[in-house]
């Protein structure tokens, strides 16, 4: 991880991309079987009738703000049903409001910064961050930049430990010239956020290397394995239960850190 902070060529360069993406046997990427499983999972989700998911009784929210950050190449539309569900439970829920997530562009970094400050200033309370895939990477960077404003971070299949491996690498590399905010994001990834974190991952992830979605052991950090597809993880009942149970936990005191 130290190589991330000291890459003299910058993350937008050829060397910088090697910091992000594994080469050779540095980390095992998703298998073809798991990649095919992602497509099948999406088809099953599309054909699901009714679309409602029943997970049983869950704790109600306490009204604190929750910001949901979307996955790579997705927008707030992707998480609308999830956000509506959290809102019905009693949370003040916001999307990120920056359109399609194509990575850490200047617009994306400014947008998440602004929404965090707006939510916390309006409510007078810290916000929880829920990030899906690349959205979780941005969530952790945001928590590192403003730990005084963040209550906890929950990531869902987010490759925040570099390097990672993904079949989406060509698309991400093509967009890297637009990632003016990436240097800051990578630097802030060198240490876990100083707030409670929950990293949800799937050993059958067909989109990113699951080992890059797991946090190093430490205080106030937990990793939770859930069997399922990356692309439909936010609709998985087990994932939803973990998220809402963590959001319902009381805000840690300064003494418990």
Q: Rounded to whole angstroms, what are the CA distances from 41 to 2, 80, 233? A: 36, 19, 10
User: Average pLDDT for residues 154-176, to the nearest whole number?
Assistant: 85
**What pTM was estimated for this model as a whole?**
0.83
User: Average pLDDT for residues 93-97, to the nearest whole number?
Assistant: 95
Asked if residue 56 is part of any domain, the answer here is: no
Q: What is the pLDDT of residues 119-152, one digit of tens each?
A: 999 999 999 999 999 999 999 999 999 999 999 9
**What range defines the domain where residue 152 resides?**
2-48+61-247
pLDDT of amino acid 46: 64
User: Average pLDDT for residues 112-117, to the nearest whole number?
Assistant: 96
Q: What is the CATH number of the domain that holds 115?
A: 3.40.50.1820
Instruction: Say whether pLDDT at 14 is over 50.
Output: no
Asked if residue 193 is part of any domain, the answer here is: yes
Instruction: Say whether pLDDT at 175 is over 90.
Output: no
Q: What is the pLDDT of residues 19-57, one digit of tens each?
A: 787 655 556 677 666 666 666 656 666 666 555 666 788
pLDDT of amino acid 190: 60
Asked if residue 198 is part of any domain, the answer here is: yes
Asked if residue 148 is part of any domain, the answer here is: yes
pLDDT of amino acid 170: 78
Instruction: Tell me the range of 1-15, 44-58, 62-76 where mean pLDDT is highest.
Output: 62-76
Asked if residue 67 is part of any domain, the answer here is: yes
Asked if residue 191 is part of any domain, the answer here is: yes
- pLDDT-derived band at 116 (thresholds 50, 70, 90) equals very high
Q: What is the pLDDT of residues 204-221, one digit of tens each?
A: 898 898 999 999 989 999
**Which has more confidence, 104 or 75?**
75
Task: Count the domains in the chain.
Answer: 1
């Amino acid at each position: 991880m130290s190589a991330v902070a000291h890459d003299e060529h910058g993350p937008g360069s050829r060397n910088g991309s090697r910091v992000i993406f594994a080469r050779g046997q540095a980390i095992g990427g998703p298998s073809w079987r798991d990649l095919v499983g992602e497509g099948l999972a999406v088809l099953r989700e599309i054909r699901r009738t009714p679309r409602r998911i029943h997970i049983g009784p869950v704790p109600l929210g306490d009204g604190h703000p929750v910001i949901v950050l979307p996955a790579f190449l997705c927008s707030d539309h992707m998480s609308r049903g999830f956000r509506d569900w959290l809102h019905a439970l009693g949370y003040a829920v916001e999307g990120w409001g920056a359109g399609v997530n194509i990575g850490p562009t200047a617009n994306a970094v400014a947008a998440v910064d602004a929404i965090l400050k707006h939510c916390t200033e309006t409510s007078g309370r810290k916000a929880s961050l829920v990030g899906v895939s690349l959205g979780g990477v941005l969530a952790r960077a945001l928590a590192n930049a403003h730990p005084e404003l963040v209550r906890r971070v929950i990531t869902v299949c987010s490759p925040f430990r570099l390097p990672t491996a993904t079949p989406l690498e060509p698309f991400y590399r093509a967009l890297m010239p637009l990632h003016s905010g990436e240097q800051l994001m990578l630097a802030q990834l060198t240490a876990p956020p100083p707030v409670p974190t929950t990293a949800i991952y799937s050993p059958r992830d067909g989109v990113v290397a699951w080992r890059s979605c797991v946090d190093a052991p430490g205080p106030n950090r937990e990793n939770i394995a859930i069997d399922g597809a990356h692309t439909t993880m936010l609709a998985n009942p087990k994932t939803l239960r973990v998220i809402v149970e963590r959001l319902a936990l009381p805000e840690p005191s300064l003494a418990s850190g």
